[in-house]
Structure 1
């Protein structure tokens, strides 16, 4: 873990496991490092980079926003694969937020990823560790060798990601209403079973 922290403190990109897939990431507060991740992945610059943190107490490093449903969402689905759109702090790099200033953040359910964020004391970029348009990766042997050769440090020890669908992305609306931006590992049924009202994003 210390190798990854050192690399991120030096502005490098790293690969590490999350609860769903391997992530390509960096110190999310470093704009140059965020740009490096975008370039390595060949990711469209208009597509914001998602974030993970190591606990609810770290949300203040990402946002000042606390919608009414946040506590209930966090207690029901965090740590885990539910990414919530919240207004990003204006001090964070532009690469993390959309045109309206929203960024996507979750408390990772993978113990290594969560601890990595806590030890760095910063949010982490957590985009899937694959070239844009290629399948995401859940096992070390499936990693693109070209991507591996350009990354500072990788962590491939178990526990490995579970694979399957990526995190679900939602936008809190008023009261208990949620807009589904992307349905993933947390299903609409799981959200409805917790009493949330679901609206699907228009294409």
Structure 2
């Protein structure tokens, strides 16, 4: 843990486990570090980087949004693999937000990932630890050696990610209406079972 915190504080990138897959991340408040993540992955610059936090109490580090439905979603699915689009604070790096100023955030259900953010007292970038176009990894042996070599530090000990689908990404529309941008580990049925009205985003 300490080696990753040191790397993050020094503006470096790190590889660490989340509840679903291994992530490549950095200090989510450091613009240069965010650019490093994009460069290492060869990720499209216009594709916002997602964030994780270590608790609902850390939401204020990411957004001023506080709709009741956000609290309901957090109570139902956090900590866990549900990423929610929120209006990002203007002080956060532009690499985290889309053209409308929205970024995605979740309270990670993995104890290491959650604790990492807590100890940093900052949101941490959590994009899949793979070069763009290559498969994501849920086991240490599946991680790309090239990516590991470029990262400043890595945590590869158990508990490992569970694998399977990545986090589900949703947008809050109004009241209890949600739009699913990417269906992942949290299914549409699971959202509906909690009383939310769900639509699927159209892929253009």
Q: Normalising by structure 1, report the TM-score.
A: 0.99
Shift of 1:66: 1.1
Q: Does 1:36 align with 2:33?
A: no
Q: Give the equivalent residue in structure 1 for 2:80.
A: 80
Distance 2:88 2:71 in 1: 18
Question: How many positions carry a matched residue from both structures?
Answer: 203
Q: List per-residue Cα deviations over 1:98-151 (Å, max 9, x = no partner).
A: 000000000000000000000001000000000001111000001111111111
The root-mean-square deviation of aligned C-alpha atoms, in Å, is: 0.4
Flag as ranges the 4+ runs of structure 1 deviating above 2 A.
Answer: none
Q: Give the equivalent residue in structure 2 for 1:149.
A: 149
Q: Give the equivalent residue in structure 1 for 2:189.
A: 189
Q: Does the CA-based 8 Å contact 1:169-1:183 persist in structure 2?
A: yes
Q: Does the CA-based 8 Å contact 1:67-1:172 persist in structure 2?
A: no
- For 2:68, what is the secondary structure of its paired residue? coil
Which runs of 5 or more structure 2 residues have no equivalent in the other structure? none
Q: Does the CA-based 8 Å contact 1:85-1:171 persist in structure 2?
A: yes
Distance 2:172 2:68 in 1: 9
Q: Give the equivalent residue in structure 2 for 1:69.
A: 69
- For 1:69, what is the secondary structure of its paired residue? helix
Q: Does 1:17 align with 2:6?
A: no
Q: Does the CA-based 8 Å contact 1:86-1:103 persist in structure 2?
A: yes
Shift of 1:68: 2.2
Q: How does 1:96-175 map to 2 (within 5 A)?
A: 96-175=96-175
Shift of 1:199: 1.1
